[in-house]
Structure 1
Amino acid sequence: MPLPDRDQDWPPPHIKREMRLYEEWGAWYAGDPDRLADVYGSTGMVHGIGLDPKGWDRPSKGFSGWIQRAARYFWGTPVPLGQVRSTKLHIPIAGDIAATSADLLFSEQPTLKVPGKTSQKRLDKIMHEAGIYGALLEAAEIGSAYGGSYLRVGWDTEMYDHPVMSVLPPDAAIPEFRYGKLAAVTFWRVLAEDDSSRQVWRHLERHERGRVLHGLYLGTPDRLGKQMPLADHPETEIYADQVDENGGFDSYYPRGLLVSYVPNMRPHRLIRGTSLGRSDYQGVEHLMDALDETWTSLMRDIRLGKGRVIVPDLFLDSLGRGSGAAWDADREIYSGLGMLPPPGAQANSMLTITQFAIRVAEHVDAGKALTAQILRGAGYSAQSFGESDGSGQAVTATEVHSREKKSFSSRGRKTGYWNPTLQWAPDVLLSIDHAVFGRKVSAERGEVHWPDGVQPDPEALGRTVELFNRAQAMSLETKIRTVHPEWDDHQVHEEKERLRDELGLNVPDPDRLDDVLVPSLGEE
């Protein structure tokens, strides 16, 4: 299917529901109070609306539109008339969830293996020089927030001597799935926008099996417009000499797309039947809204709890006609008053000190409870976010797994969605490296080996190996594999040979026992 050849609504109407969700989740992920207010409709100032942000005191039926939404969310309530600034406080817990999700997956790098030493060596070099592991970490964070992310492989022979990988968010893509797998996708980006003429330049990039197509369009904010030559804009003129008469070129990867979609988690609870993933924020947006309301209420208590002194007018010094009056709190002597004080009045009875209580404990407890519920709803344990049990004692790796069981369960589910992409990556990277850069490598799908996720306690591991060694219940190779579970057979064999040489062990390797016995029998 080619790029659009006529004017149409943009983004297309069939993805408007997805775009609305991306806009909401993106506002929470960005942590921008202005974006949250725009998403939930808190624009302008209205008197008397949103007295109860959760909607128990809803507006009358005469109100509609964004005012009705304002009564449902704390971030939907407008700034009341007479208030100079918005006093709403935002806690960026959504960003913490996305970052922690990415750390659980890729803080320790997975190992990608392909057949052949030459291909493996070249793949390792590409992974480090092209910053592939950084791209995986970025994609995992974006996927946690938006419900999925796209990884795209490409090349630029003027800047790099290897393939490159970039991450694209789902709100800039129109995917086409077939049996749950990405069959084609069209990315778009806004190159320039003129507010006065309402003209918008857009670049569309479509990926199909074995093909990549590029198109330049001049339209309006809500219309795609007509297709223009690629050379008409400096951002797309680099593709003008590369595309053929059909507007595309060969991707050098006939087995599939140069793009892979990684869902964060399935199924999507709001859109049934879609192959898109769901965000970690899905279902806890109202709880994050309530958390912001809680901490905003605490800050309101702090502002109202400031001590204030109310004095009569006679204690004020006039600043001149039309300039008001002021009171010097450090002044020690005042002129006597030509009047008798009220019966039973004290000397300082004309000064009123006002200071309200600040309910810190109540707000903190409510905030902790909401935070725990948000993390539980997102699929994580509170311990993964630095919340301790208060004991202050060191814990073992087994105890960490036990306390963070929910987080590691979510991590295990997400690794299953990442495996197809991590197997695809070596194949497409080495294919491009061979076809574009002329490397003598063979492209094949790789094997993925995930780390455990929690580093074992070295001291406890050492004691375990020592106990098994004393009981003569563990061979040298088993010891090495216990201490280094991530090593392959070649690394284990080399380490075993080094230990034999250092310890002066003359016992022959069982794997080479025949080589030792056969010559000796021949000599006899």
Structure 2
Amino acid sequence: MPLPDNNAPWPPPHLAKTLAEIRIDDAWYSGDQAKLTAAYRTESTRRDGTARLWGRRRAPQPGKRDTRLHIPLAGDIATTSADLLFSEPPTFTVTDRATQDRLDELTDADGIANTLLESAEIAAALGGVYLRVTWDHTLVGRPLLTTVHADAAVPEFSFGLLRAVTFWHELASDGATVLRHLERHEPGRILHALYQGTADNLGRRVPLTEHPAVAPLAEALGPDGESIETGIDLLTAAYVRNIGPNRKHRGSPLGRSDYAAPLYDLFDALDTTWTSWIRDIRLARARLIIPDAYLRDHGPGRGASFDDDREIWQLLNIPPTEQGGITLSQFAIRVEEHERSAEAATRQAVRSAGYSAQTFGIGDQVAATATEVKARERKSMTTRGKKTRYYSPPLGDMLHVMLLLDQRMFTPGITPERPRTVFGDTVAEDAATLAQTLSLFQQAQAVSVDTKVRMIHPEWDEAAVQAEVGRILTETGQAVPDPMQAGALV
């Protein structure tokens, strides 16, 4: 499928429902009150939004700010998801030594661990994220792994696999005219085009030289004037599903956001509870109700005031009636009720998102071993395990593409292969517990020296493991060959 024709509606109409749902996810993820208000006042959400805290229309009051309060639990969930996956960087291994050294150099220099951490947070919020491999000879001498958000892509799937994808972003907009750059990834090539249109129409195609951000691409285009050949037969982009299936669209290849229903209701309930709590605090401020006669007159046209810090007052000529004194007005703050409601909403929200309450600091926080932590946070660990299985295949594909492009453009001496990915432990086992475990395995004669070294040092490569095994066997005398096996029996 080629690049879109002139004057095509944009974004494509078949993505309208998906993008509308992503817009709601994005509003909660951002924590921006203006975004939340705008998201729940659109035509598609008006019926649902009017019942929500952020969808209610309020008459503007001069000099007064919006007293609604937003608790950024949605952002916390996305961040926690990313931390569970990539707080400890994964390790990537290949069999060839030279290729391994180059892969280590690429992942370190490119900051791939940070790229993955950020991509996982976006995937949790929007339901998925795209990993893209690109390069710029004028910038650095290596391929680059980048991310593209799910609301800036038009994917094409076949049997659940990404066949091609078109990314877009707005380069300039003056309200009436929008300049968009489209970048289409197909196996073996990347197509580029610049369109000048409106907010909902792609408009007409214009030369890439019309905008300085994409003008350098014009020189790299092939004979067809619109594509760059990659020299490999693989797609230079991959889609990472956050988790599946997509409950709102069964059979869809797109992933499911961590905010999938009923979390919108719980987020709204949490904001409503905190808004009510803060309103109680605001209304409970102590106020004095005094008769007019207690006010000090400052003269004609200058008003009157009451000094509540004054210690001595002269007698006032006021009839001693029961209504003539100072009245203190101070309401009760329903702290316990609000706190319990807020915690209940938070617990249910994180549980519906697939995590344990303890992961978010809810409940007793006492010292525990790594084994106890994993048992207490089993639900979070299960969700993490599922997400790693969704992340591993596309990540391995893109690292393979990086090595292939690196060999072709920068480092011809390597032998590209698809790396093996090992995700780091979220909770590291303490040394004492690990030593006790290994000791029990040793007593049962159920573990080898090689396995013990790998358990203690999971980050070591094969050469380092074998070197350590050799040293241990030599020091313990186990490296001496069995004399009974020294020669063949006659």
- Is it true that 1:315 corresponds to 2:315 in the alignment? no
Distance 1:194 1:315 in 2: 60
- Is it true that 1:260 corresponds to 2:241 in the alignment? no
Distance 1:447 1:339 in 2: 89
Distance 2:393 2:480 in 1: 39
1:392-437 CA-partner distances (Å, limit 9, x unpaired): 3x22222212111111111111111112112212310111101111
Aligned position for 1:188: 168
Aligned position for 2:226: 247
How do residues 209-288 of structure 1 correspond to structure 2 at under 5 angstroms? 209-244=187-222, 245-254=224-233, 256-283=234-261, 284-288=263-267
1:378-398 CA-partner distances (Å, limit 9, x unpaired): 1111111122425x3x22222
Aligned position for 2:311: 332
1:24-75 CA-partner distances (Å, limit 9, x unpaired): 1011111111110111129xxxxxxxxxxxxxxxxxxxxx987644432111
* Residues 125-134 or 465-474, more deviating: 465-474
1:266 deviates by 1.2
CA contact (8 A) 1:114 1:426 kept: no
Aligned residue type for 1:295: W
CA contact (8 A) 1:112 1:422 kept: no
How do residues 393-432 of structure 1 correspond to structure 2 at under 5 angstroms? 394-432=367-405
- Is it true that 1:480 corresponds to 2:453 in the alignment? yes
Of the three residues 497, 508, 519, the one matched with 2:479 is 508
CA contact (8 A) 2:189 2:229 kept: yes
CA contact (8 A) 2:453 2:465 kept: yes
Aligned residue type for 1:517: A
CA contact (8 A) 2:93 2:419 kept: yes
Aligned position for 1:517: 486
Aligned residue type for 1:292: D
- Is it true that 1:456 corresponds to 2:435 in the alignment? no
Query: Relative to structure 1, is the Cα distance of residues 72 and 487 closer, same or farther in structure 2, using a 3 angstrom cutoff?
Result: same
- Is it true that 1:110 corresponds to 2:83 in the alignment? no
Distance 2:378 2:386 in 1: 12
- Is it true that 1:160 corresponds to 2:135 in the alignment? no
1:185 deviates by 0.6
Aligned residue type for 1:396: T
CA contact (8 A) 2:131 2:398 kept: no
Secondary structure class of the residue paired with 1:188: strand
- Is it true that 1:375 corresponds to 2:350 in the alignment? yes
How do residues 11-410 of structure 1 correspond to structure 2 at under 5 angstroms? 11-41=11-41, 68-80=47-59, 82=61, 84-195=64-175, 198-244=176-222, 245-254=224-233, 256-283=234-261, 284-342=263-321, 345=322, 350-389=325-364, 392=366, 394-410=367-383
Secondary structure class of the residue paired with 2:311: coil
Aligned position for 1:446: 419
Name structure 2 gaps, 5 residues minimum: none
1:277-299 CA-partner distances (Å, limit 9, x unpaired): 01000110110011011111110
CA contact (8 A) 1:190 1:200 kept: yes
1:490 deviates by 2.9
1:325-384 CA-partner distances (Å, limit 9, x unpaired): 211112234343445413xx4xx9610100000111111111110000000111111111
Aligned residue type for 1:385: F
Distance 1:471 1:27 in 2: 56
CA contact (8 A) 2:156 2:163 kept: yes
1:156 deviates by 1.0
CA contact (8 A) 1:231 1:237 kept: yes
Aligned position for 1:57: none
Distance 2:464 2:27 in 1: 47
Aligned residue type for 2:347: A
Output the TM-score relative to the length of structure 2: 0.93
Aligned position for 1:55: none
CA contact (8 A) 1:384 1:407 kept: yes
Secondary structure class of the residue paired with 1:240: helix
Aligned position for 1:46: none
Distance 1:215 1:324 in 2: 69
Distance 2:128 2:44 in 1: 30
Distance 2:451 2:226 in 1: 58
Distance 1:514 1:107 in 2: 50
CA contact (8 A) 1:113 1:447 kept: yes
Secondary structure class of the residue paired with 1:72: coil
CA contact (8 A) 2:236 2:398 kept: no
Secondary structure class of the residue paired with 1:294: helix
Count of aligned pairs between the two proteins:
487
1:117 deviates by 1.1
Aligned residue type for 1:330: D
Distance 1:15 1:478 in 2: 50
1:235-263 CA-partner distances (Å, limit 9, x unpaired): 11111111132400102221x21001000
Distance 1:376 1:71 in 2: 27
CA contact (8 A) 1:216 1:227 kept: yes
Query: Relative to structure 1, is the Cα distance of residues 9 and 142 closer, same or farther in structure 2, using a 3 angstrom cutoff?
Result: same
1:312 deviates by 0.9
1:465 deviates by 3.4
1:118 deviates by 1.1
CA contact (8 A) 1:422 1:446 kept: no
Distance 2:444 2:214 in 1: 70
Distance 1:473 1:189 in 2: 57
Aligned position for 1:58: none
Distance 2:349 2:94 in 1: 40
RMSD of aligned residue pairs (Cα, Å): 2.5
1:80 deviates by 3.9
CA contact (8 A) 2:291 2:324 kept: no
Secondary structure class of the residue paired with 1:237: coil
Name structure 1 gaps, 5 residues minimum: 43-63
Query: Relative to structure 1, is the Cα distance of residues 472 and 192 closer, same or farther in structure 2, using a 3 angstrom cutoff?
Result: closer
1:81-104 CA-partner distances (Å, limit 9, x unpaired): 547221011111111111110111
Secondary structure class of the residue paired with 1:281: coil
Distance 1:467 1:412 in 2: 27
Same amino acid, percent of matched pairs: 44
Say which structure, 1 or 2, has more relative contact order (CA 8 Å, 6+ apart).
Answer: 2
* Residues 481-490 or 104-113, more deviating: 481-490
